[in-house]
Structure 1
Amino acid sequence: MEYGEINRIFEENDKFLILTHKSPDGDTLGSGFGLCYFLRDMGKLANVVNSDGFPDRYDFMYAEYKDQDFEPEFIIAVDIADVTLMGSGLAKYQQEGMVDLCIDHHISNKHYAKLTHVEGQTAAAAHILYKIFKESGRKLRDITAKCLYTGIATDTGCFKYENTTPETHMAAAELMAYDIDFANVNRKMFDVKSKGRLKVEQAVTGSMEYYLNDKCAMITITTELMEKCGADPAEFDGLASIPLSAEGVVIGITVKQRHKNVYKISVRTTEEMDASAFCGLFGGGGHIRAAGCEIRGSLEDVKALLIEKAGQVLGI
């Protein structure tokens, strides 16, 4: 879809519901709230929903947000590659034909919406929205710019991941020209951690396991560990980068327990391996260097399966 077509959709409809993915991160929330504020500034009605609620660490994006009372007429999913990523709280929107438009940057997008706009080479969904907003010619409020900047910064690892391009930097620079206190955003997103989060980092780093001639590193985060450390599950953005930080590792795997016998898998890889293709073996997907999936079973079985498939891909 062309940006002009998407802007026409914004113009021609009045009541929007914006869906964000479960276990929300900075990009899905930055995209969701950025779009919500943009639509409200057009005089439209718009709400943002999430299956797991909105984590406190992102409260600077939604501090002034209040739900509006209306029945949605147009449903937009942002940064959601697959309906299963909506979570149980948004189950009714997972039915075929429920989502009118999906705006996403994952190459593994399942094209479940009536209309889909995917830019697999763009670093963040928030960057796509910024390009759409620029095309409209409308001026953004500072809060909208702050949301979009947060989405771009978090999905690029503060601009250090290889999905960062010159275009990414230029978009970020333009958003920094607004009154957004970007230094404080970056500090809150990347430097400030709770005591519980630091305890978890210490625990998983100390117990990291190596496989396949040390080309695969794995950390495990159980609900028991989270409870023991007193950490909120919403605080775990960025932990997935720990296994790949070990020298010589080609694939870093983070196994995080969601429920009994249900595990969220986050994969990070070097240029020697396609993370999205690997997670696709388990029904997941994402980006070439960062992807995820969900696997059911005992912890031992889940780990054994991941190691087996990684060995097959690596030829070990």
Structure 2
Amino acid sequence: MINAIVQLIGESQSFLVASHAHPDGDAVGSTLALVSFLRQLGKNAVAFNLDGIPEELSFLPGADEVICQPEALSSYDVGFILDSGELGRAGDFLQNHCSKLVNVDHHPHSEPFGAINYVDEQACATGALIYRIIQTAGYSISHDVALCVYTAILSDTGSFRYSNANPEAFQIASALVEVGVSPWYVAGNLYESRPAEQIKLLSHVLETLTVSSCGRFGSVMVTTGMLQAAGARPEHTDGLINYPRSIRGVEVALFFRQVEDDLFKVSFRSKGKVDVGSLARELGGGGHHNAAGATVAGSMEQVQEVVFDRLNALLPLC
């Protein structure tokens, strides 16, 4: 599979590299790493994301060149769709701009929408798959690529705290530090450069904290009104789910974010015993065993009731 991708890169000249909307560190890091590598080879490569780059990831090289307007796209020999699970998360229209699509992902149940589908559920991050591709191609890792891949892995493993922090994650991270990546620099940009609006939002969010009677799942929520009151944006909600997740005894953490009057994005995080990926798929979403999400219609009370009832069934002690 990797050799087929390397061959396709060698035979092609123009590339579109895209990842899922509302991108996280793995999506952004993987995208910018691959674009940087392709340009290193003398290829024409552009990065695309419907929602652009979150502020905390703007330090990555190439972040200021990402296209987010579909009308600005041209035609490309190959389109790499990264970390998306399904084409629709990145944009179904992307297939109209590319002669071939390549799906590179580590999500379970990833749709085989590409001419090549390189999916490894055991990989710690999509960034690790990009690293493998570059290594297989026989090229050295530049500092820009190393910085992007390191950020991808650090983000998706929760700073090497999650269950996907496997031996490969540490091996790649070690190799990237040897190239010159500064862990302090990356951590400082990701975790110690937060805008004041995000902290103001946090003060509102913690007031919504709920823990089930059995103590095995907890949740927080954000409404559009709370965002407005704090002067915050949707990307400032990243990481809020970690607050209920950090409570002793909580096995599943939930984060509800209002998108419209009667529409909510629900994020799930599990500490391992509950397959929240399966739960999210039941609700029309998707994801991993320990990290998943879905969009659910209804009022806040209705959405919470649906989700809490399913969790009560999965956690019979509740």
TM-score (norm 1): 0.92
Deviation, 1:70, is: 5.0
Q: Distance in 1 between matches of 2:64 and 2:248?
A: 44
Match of 1:294, SS state, is strand
Provide the identity percentage. Answer: 27
Aligned to 1:187: 188
Aligned to 1:21: 20
Residues 34/290 of structure 1: CA separation in 2 closer, same or farther (3 Å cut): same
Q: Distance in 1 between matches of 2:201 and 2:63?
A: 28
Equivalent AA in structure 2 for residue 304 of structure 1? E
Deviation, 1:250, is: 1.7
Q: Distance in 1 between matches of 2:113 and 2:92?
A: 14
Equivalent in 87, 100, 109 of residue 83 of structure 1: 87
Deviation, 1:98, is: 7.7
Deviation, 1:63, is: 5.0
Residues 197/94 of structure 1: CA separation in 2 closer, same or farther (3 Å cut): farther
Equivalent AA in structure 1 for residue 182 of structure 2? D
Deviation, 1:130, is: 0.4
Deviation, 1:173, is: 0.8
Aligned to 1:10: 9
Q: Distance in 2 between matches of 1:114 and 1:257?
A: 36
Gaps of 5+ in 1: none
Deviation, 1:272, is: 1.9
Residues 114/262 of structure 1: CA separation in 2 closer, same or farther (3 Å cut): farther
Say if 2:210 is the partner of 1:209: yes
Gaps of 5+ in 2: none
Say if 2:71 is the partner of 1:71: no
Deviation, 1:226, is: 1.2
Superposition RMSD in Å: 2.1
Q: Distance in 2 between matches of 1:224 and 1:11?
A: 50
Aligned to 1:58: 57
Q: How does 1:60-209 map to 2 (within 5 A)?
A: 60-61=59-60, 62=62, 65=65, 70-86=74-90, 90-93=91-94, 100-209=101-210
8 A contact 2:56–2:193 mirrored in 1 = no
Aligned to 1:221: 222
Residues 254/261 of structure 1: CA separation in 2 closer, same or farther (3 Å cut): same
Q: Distance in 2 between matches of 1:261 and 1:44?
A: 45
After superposition, what is the alpha-carbon deviation per residue over 1:144-199, rounded to whole angstroms, capped at 9, x for unaligned?
A: 11111110001011111111012110100111122333311112112332222112
Deviation, 1:66, is: 7.0
TM-score (norm 2): 0.91
8 A contact 1:93–1:99 mirrored in 2 = no
After superposition, what is the alpha-carbon deviation per residue over 1:46-105, rounded to whole angstroms, capped at 9, x for unaligned?
A: 11111112223212222564779852121110000023322xxx341378x986111001
Deviation, 1:304, is: 1.0
Aligned to 2:247: 246
After superposition, what is the alpha-carbon deviation per residue over 1:22-41, rounded to whole angstroms, capped at 9, x for unaligned?
A: 11111101000100011111
Match of 2:59, SS state, is helix
Equivalent AA in structure 1 for residue 20 of structure 2? H
Aligned to 1:267: 268
Figure out how many residues of one structure are paired with residues of the other and give that number.
311
Residues 276/98 of structure 1: CA separation in 2 closer, same or farther (3 Å cut): farther
Deviation, 1:240, is: 1.8
8 A contact 1:212–1:311 mirrored in 2 = no
Q: Distance in 2 between matches of 1:94 and 1:216?
A: 40
8 A contact 2:15–2:78 mirrored in 1 = yes
